[in-house]
Chains A and B, each alone.
Chain A
Amino acid sequence: MARSVKTQRKIINTAAAWGIGLLIFFPILWTILTSFKTEATAIADPPVFLAFNWTMENYTAVLERSNYAKFLWNSIIIAGGSTILGIIIAVPAAWSMAFVPSRRTKDILLWMLSTKMLPAVGVLYPIYLICIKLGILDSRIALVIILMLMNLPIIVWMLYTYFREIPGEILEAARMDGASLKEEILYVLTPMAIPGIASTLLLNFILAWNEAFWTLNLTAANAAPLTAFIASYSSPEGLFFAKLSAASTMAIAPILILGWFSQKQLVSGLTFGAVK
């Protein structure tokens, strides 16, 4: 009896969860489906769900018109570069905050987060002028640096919460054994922190990948990533749902796949160590 109640509940839970899950996922699914339709089918009334002539013509058209590989490569370099650079700078800072906390540690952390509140558009011209002066306008290095600075507070904060979870006794023990600070970080701390670093990396890679203000406004022909690629399909003349869907799918697919494969790390990354 108790068992059948449990099964019944499980069935209801499963149905509800799948229903809601599919509902939330539906806009993405619909975009992917639409990308395989012709422009006319894409706006058909009533809409067709699966029973249409699947076509690759939108992808062919998009690939013919834009150099997708170049946009993709720029996205990878910019998102990857800014994240890695950010981690390199943030690890020592987070380490010291976690293991040698002072009265001001929390203030510094919150101050770092507050730097994210400056509206970007207000400083477009100053940043633009600085980039010109340094000769790094429309270069990937400019975006790597800017996105790194944008995400640095989040990176420091995430790493800090991870490092705090690492029991101090282990470090004490290592120190007793005569480990230097360098060895302590390299051989004791880092292996324990790798899951945390991995999820920080992932989350910030996603944030950098999706950043659309600086990546659009500071690039032209050389450094433009996928956000700029999308801007050339957003509202052209004539019917465009299918082509927009194809371009959208191409822009989100890499990150979607990456996210799905690494969702375990990401899930723990999203907890900020604050919940356990």
Chain B
Amino acid sequence: MSLTKTVYAATTMALVTAGSATAENLVIATVNNGDMVRMQGYTDNFTEKTGHTVEWVTLEENVLRQRVTTDIAAKGGSFDIMTIGMYETPIWAANDWLVPLDGLSDAYDADDILPAMREGLSYDGTLYAAPFYGESSMIMYRTDLMEKAGLEMPQAPTWDFIREAAAAMTDRENDINGICLRGKAGWGEGGALITVTANSFGARWFDEDWNAQFDQPAWNEALTFFVEMMNESGPNGYATNGFNENLNLFQQGKCGMWIDATVAASFVTNPDDSTVADKVGFALAPNTGKGKNANWLWAWALAIPAGTQKEDAAKEFVEWATSKEYIELVAANEGWANVPPGARTSLYENENYKAVPFAAMTLESINVADPKNPTVDPVPYVGVQFVAIPEFAGIATEVSQEFSAVYAGQQTVEEALEKAQALTNDAMEAAGYR
């Protein structure tokens, strides 16, 4: 292996005669989302600039998580850069598994990163992952159907209004569902949506002593509301619908409203893919008047595992991929609506970007989310739609599986909450919290 590596390094060096003497080959693990796939197309631009070459390991989200988590925990060193989220960053940073990103160049302008993103990707005040794009959640709705229903979407609607509007927009004959929401099991899928919904109903995952709170009335209220609304106006089989299934439904004109990631806005307004591109309006995620909206906060970010031999080159790549120049590069080639959103303040001050219909609502949604105070009551954890502790992914996946069984009509809300309460407390006990 060391021989192949040497040979490889030698050939790369020979190839890049014009570049710096320390041209490296970077291995980058990333998720197969649209913006990342687009970035792969621009890799040549990076290689021209720096002389470093890049090899992509592109994986579906669940496989990627499994892969990078194993590798970082076992210190496998398979990757020089990993694409991770807001959930992983603080946990990994606390374990000293990531290279701190404090020495970035002046031209990079790290202070330009949106404060919410910066905070979510920092640990102890130091940035550990640079946001490639960031998102919150918001309502995307069909302006034509809303009008037909004789309703007007307020800037910040309540859940009761949403339920009423969904019922009014539903047209089973024409295959139009008033509202499409995620019901798919998985902490990052349906688990994320039901958590922010519950937050807006005043529910929380844990009290200050890390006791699970599924036995509290707020959870019951939120879950019951969700299930009743989806049964009235949701699509058939929503228990298996995740982000992508709903995106396809919405693009095909089968949803009146869809509450999901703000990044979806550029897909549903893209006339190449969406049949309803010119009929989409945006509004703030709903609330129940308790002061919290169903806004989550997430970023896909690039991080460098500690112990990599190519730290400098990796930093150069992270800077390039999350820079203002990269945004301009994409804008020049694919239009402003397609640049990676939600990462930089300057993007939202750019006149060209202000003309993009969903820009203002995206920024507002991001700013509303507060990872330190995700819900009405105080919590011992950080994170809006997740709890930034290592045990959460496992617990929340199982809890969301119980909820999905409710959505599929296989158990009652009470049964699911009882199981969720038991399994959460059990796992927290095993981890030594209680």
Beta-carbon contact of A236 and B27 below 8 Å? no
Known A-B contacts A232-B58, A232-B59; the reply to A137 vs B78 at CB < 8 A is yes
CA gap between A152 and B61 in the complex, in Å: 33
**What is the CA–CA distance of A137 and B74 in the complex, to the nearest angstrom?**
11
B27 to chain A: which residues have CB within 8 Å?
220-221
A177 at the interface (CB under 8 A from B): no
Chain B's closest residue to A233 (CB) is B32
Q: Contact mask B61-88 → A, CB, 8 Å, 1/0?
A: 1010011001101111111000000000
Report the minimal beta-carbon distance from A58 to chain B, rounded to whole angstroms. Answer: 14
Q: Using a CB-CB cutoff of 8 Å, which residues 222-249 of chain A contact chain B?
A: 224, 228, 231-240
Q: Is the interface of B mostly helix, strand, loop or mixed?
A: mixed
Contact B1 A132 (CB under 8 A): no
* A203 to B247 alpha-carbon distance, docked (Å): 41
Once A217-B70, A228-B59 are accepted as A-B contacts, the answer to whether A236 and B244 lie under 8 Å apart by CB is yes
Q: How far is the CA of A29 from the CA of B60 in the complex (A)?
A: 25
Question: Which residues of the partner chain A approach B298 to less than 8 Å between Cβ atoms?
Answer: none
Q: Report which of A131, A224, A236 forms a contact with B34, defined as CB distance below 8 A.
A: A236
B40 interface residue per 8 A CB criterion: yes
Query: Is B156 located at the chain interface by the 8 A CB criterion?
Result: no
Tell yes or no: A139 within 8 A of B by CB.
Answer: yes
A253 within 8 A of B: no
B10 interface residue per 8 A CB criterion: no
Q: Are B243 and A237 in contact (CB under 8 A)?
A: yes
| B79 x A220 contact (CB < 8 A) | yes
A residues 57-96 with Cβ under 8 Å of B? 65-66
Q: How far is the CA of A136 from the CA of B78 in the complex (A)?
A: 11
Complex alpha-carbon distance, A43 and B248, angstroms: 10
**Is there contact, CB below 8 Å, between B74 and A125?**
yes
The residue that B267 contacts in the complex, of A66, A217, A238, with Cβ under 8 A, is: A238
Q: Taking the nearest CB of chain B, how far is it from the CB of A65, in angstroms?
A: 7
Residues from chain B with a CB closer than 8 A to the CB of A233 are: 32, 60
Q: Assess whether A238 is in contact with B247, with CB atoms less than 8 Å apart.
A: yes
Q: Which residues of B contact A239 (CB under 8 A)?
A: 248, 251, 273
Listed residue (B2, B60, B243) with the most chain A CB atoms within 10 angstroms of its CB: B60
A238–B244 CB distance below 8 A: yes
Question: Which residues of the partner chain A approach B73 to less than 8 Å between Cβ atoms?
Answer: 125
Residues of chain A within 8 A (CB-CB) of B32 are 232-236
Contact yes or no, B33 A236, CB < 8 A: yes
Q: How far is the CA of A220 from the CA of B30 in the complex (A)?
A: 11
Taking the closest CB of chain B, its distance from the CB of A195, in whole angstroms, is 38
Closest Cβ of chain B to A145, distance in Å, is 14
User: Most B CB atoms within 10 A — which of A43, A216, A232, A234?
Assistant: A232
Task: Check A232–B60 contact: CB distance below 8 A.
Answer: yes
A166 near B: Cβ within 8 Å? no
A133 CB → nearest B CB, Å: 10
**A-chain residues with CB within 8 Å of residue B67 when the two chains form the complex:** 216-217, 220
Given contacts A132-B76, A136-B1, 12 further A-B contacts (CB under 8 A): A43-B248, A65-B58, A66-B58, A128-B70, A132-B77, A220-B27, A220-B29, A221-B56, A231-B59, A234-B60, A237-B243, A238-B251
Interface residues of A (CB under 8 A from B): 43, 65-66, 124-125, 128-129, 131-132, 135-139, 216-217, 220-221, 224, 228, 231-240
A-B contact list, 18 entries, CB within 8 Å: A65-B58, A125-B74, A132-B75, A132-B77, A135-B2, A137-B77, A216-B63, A221-B27, A221-B78, A228-B57, A228-B59, A231-B63, A234-B60, A234-B63, A235-B244, A237-B247, A238-B248, A239-B248
9 shortest A-B CB distances, which residue pairs?
A220-B78, A232-B58, A221-B55, A234-B60, A221-B27, A236-B32, A231-B63, A237-B34, A128-B74
